[in-house]
Chain A
């Protein structure tokens, strides 16, 4: 346990020393919120069922920009860069073991994501007086489910693509369309129906849907849960089959 703790602390320090990754997960979502909040404000509107733009944005940004960036950008990048450099190989020559090495990456990203979510919610409350979820435990459970599901896809990405440059390219191709089409940044109410149909094939869409539904007291979205579990299984299977340490 002590060794996992030490490794995780180091991984966290290294994450924060990587200014680009930290910016995307911690600062960028807050900036987006402030920018659009200034433009659109947070008055209740009918299209969001009586909630304001910012009320609607915060859970969306959590799914798309915080969970999304950690799952599809920082986690796979970190794994593939360290693999290519030989860091993973060096760690495997120690008593740590494969499980702890990967667990540390998972925990590090969860912790950073939690911080990112905290900053978003804080900004939303202080700047726009956003509505907070009634059922916190359910929401946190939902966030955990979304995270684990998206993270296993991130692991799968690092397993299927061999080089760090390849992972960087593929993660952009995977993340950016999802960011725009999943409904997490541009609400699906404002996207053409054809786009929303396409979005049904995207994992991030289900994170967005689940978090919206939990945040606004609409209960558990069964379709979303099934989809998330399915994606998690897919991610785990692909990772177990294809992940290489060097």
Chain B
């Protein structure tokens, strides 16, 4: 089996702010070329962890190795090699887009041509626009572009689609996937489950500074052994309890004018078939599967959006 190189190693990371413990005893590895997700609710310690990895905060305990360097002692070298897009980061309101890219490119020994980044991230039209005049989607794209000026092997992205509309969000996801295609390792912090499921090869779930689970999104969800729910509009249908006899079905109930069938196995296919046999062909038949949100709920008893 091909063991991929370890790019980040965290061992027993601990960070406190006064009396509050932000990160408790965190240990995990990140492998080269993967998109690694750190997910959890606000205040879980995700941003603190990334800041320690990027050399912006000193840990109170534990050891970190990022690209073979110690972020606390070798920050100068490390900063040349990584790209960071921080959560509450900003630029001065009056700086122009090209000026920001030009400035950042000048800070690194091996920058890429920032004109290419301008085009790649859809900012060519906004070259001369002031930062304050950009939409939040454009600002996010500029921050990601700035994180890439030095063509880093490792990129930290913290809540990059917060505040974006769904279309902008999807566009950003495509661009992040392109990063992996270019061989970069990405550490992605998000509280947005759909994003983690869509983008991440592996996901670390963090709550209150502790690591609760670490695996691929698929295995985490499968581990729930959760039921699939099949839903369709009841319409005028009064008799639907016979659906309980369909193999794999555990429960049939009515919720808000819809019939909800819960079960295991290929429930959608079987229910559709059973309905069709009786001449029933609902136009809105759909299934819902468990998500990482459900995984989080099962593990912590809380909803993510607390």
Interface SS of B by simple majority = loop
Q: Mark A1-39, 1 if CB is under 8 A from B, else 0.
A: 011001100100110011000000000000000000000
Q: Hey, which chain B residues are within 8 Å of A97, CB to CB?
A: 76
Q: Hey, which chain A residues are within 8 Å of B84, CB to CB?
A: 93
* Interface assignment of B95: CB less than 8 Å from any CB of chain A: yes
**A7 interface neighbour in B56, B79, B103, Cβ under 8 Å:** B103
* Interface assignment of A94: CB less than 8 Å from any CB of chain B: yes
B233 → chain A closest CB, angstroms = 47
* Interface assignment of B167: CB less than 8 Å from any CB of chain A: no
Interface residues of A in 196-236 (CB under 8 A from B): none
Q: Mark B28-57, 1 if CB is under 8 A from A, else 0.
A: 000000000000000000000000001010
B184 → chain A closest CB, angstroms = 17
* Interface assignment of A86: CB less than 8 Å from any CB of chain B: yes
> Is A93 a contact partner of B76 (Cβ separation < 8 A)?
no
* Interface assignment of B91: CB less than 8 Å from any CB of chain A: yes
When A93-B54, A93-B84 are in contact, do A3 and B107 touch as well, CB less than 8 Å? Answer: yes
* Interface assignment of B94: CB less than 8 Å from any CB of chain A: yes
Interface SS of A by simple majority = helix
> Is B99 a contact partner of A89 (Cβ separation < 8 A)?
no
Q: Hey, which chain A residues are within 8 Å of B79, CB to CB?
A: 93-95
* Interface assignment of B106: CB less than 8 Å from any CB of chain A: yes
> Is A85 a contact partner of B90 (Cβ separation < 8 A)?
yes
Contact residues on B (Cβ < 8 Å of other chain), bracket: 20 to 34
* Interface assignment of A43: CB less than 8 Å from any CB of chain B: no
When A86-B86, A90-B89, A90-B90 are in contact, do A10 and B103 touch as well, CB less than 8 Å? Answer: yes
> Is B103 a contact partner of A6 (Cβ separation < 8 A)?
yes
* Interface assignment of A87: CB less than 8 Å from any CB of chain B: yes
> Is B91 a contact partner of A87 (Cβ separation < 8 A)?
yes
> Is B80 a contact partner of A95 (Cβ separation < 8 A)?
yes
> Is A6 a contact partner of B88 (Cβ separation < 8 A)?
no
A84 (CB) vs chain B CBs: closest residue = B90
Q: Hey, which chain B residues are within 8 Å of A17, CB to CB?
A: 94
* Interface assignment of B301: CB less than 8 Å from any CB of chain A: no
Q: Hey, which chain A residues are within 8 Å of B99, CB to CB?
A: 10, 13
A90 → chain B closest CB, angstroms = 4
* Interface assignment of B192: CB less than 8 Å from any CB of chain A: no
Taken together as a complex, chains A and B put the C-alpha atoms of A94 and B94 apart, in Å, by: 20
Taken together as a complex, chains A and B put the C-alpha atoms of A212 and B95 apart, in Å, by: 39
Q: Hey, which chain A residues are within 8 Å of B104, CB to CB?
A: 94
Among A7, A89, A95, max chain B CB count under 10 A is at A95
* Interface assignment of B279: CB less than 8 Å from any CB of chain A: no
Taken together as a complex, chains A and B put the C-alpha atoms of A82 and B131 apart, in Å, by: 13
Q: Mark A72-93, 1 if CB is under 8 A from B, else 0.
A: 0000000000100111011011
> Is A6 a contact partner of B106 (Cβ separation < 8 A)?
yes
Taken together as a complex, chains A and B put the C-alpha atoms of A16 and B19 apart, in Å, by: 44
* Interface assignment of B108: CB less than 8 Å from any CB of chain A: yes
Taken together as a complex, chains A and B put the C-alpha atoms of A2 and B86 apart, in Å, by: 25
Q: Hey, which chain A residues are within 8 Å of B90, CB to CB?
A: 85-87, 90
Beyond A86-B86, A89-B56: 20 further Cβ-contacts under 8 Å? Answer: A2-B106, A14-B92, A14-B95, A18-B94, A85-B90, A85-B92, A86-B88, A89-B86, A89-B88, A89-B89, A90-B89, A92-B56, A93-B79, A93-B84, A93-B86, A94-B79, A94-B107, A95-B80, A95-B108, A97-B76
Closest 10 CB pairs of A and B: A85-B90, A90-B89, A17-B94, A86-B90, A93-B84, A6-B106, A86-B89, A95-B79, A86-B88, A94-B107
What is B's interface to A at a CB cutoff of 8 Å?
A: 54, 56, 76, 79-80, 84, 86, 88-92, 94-95, 99, 102-104, 106-108
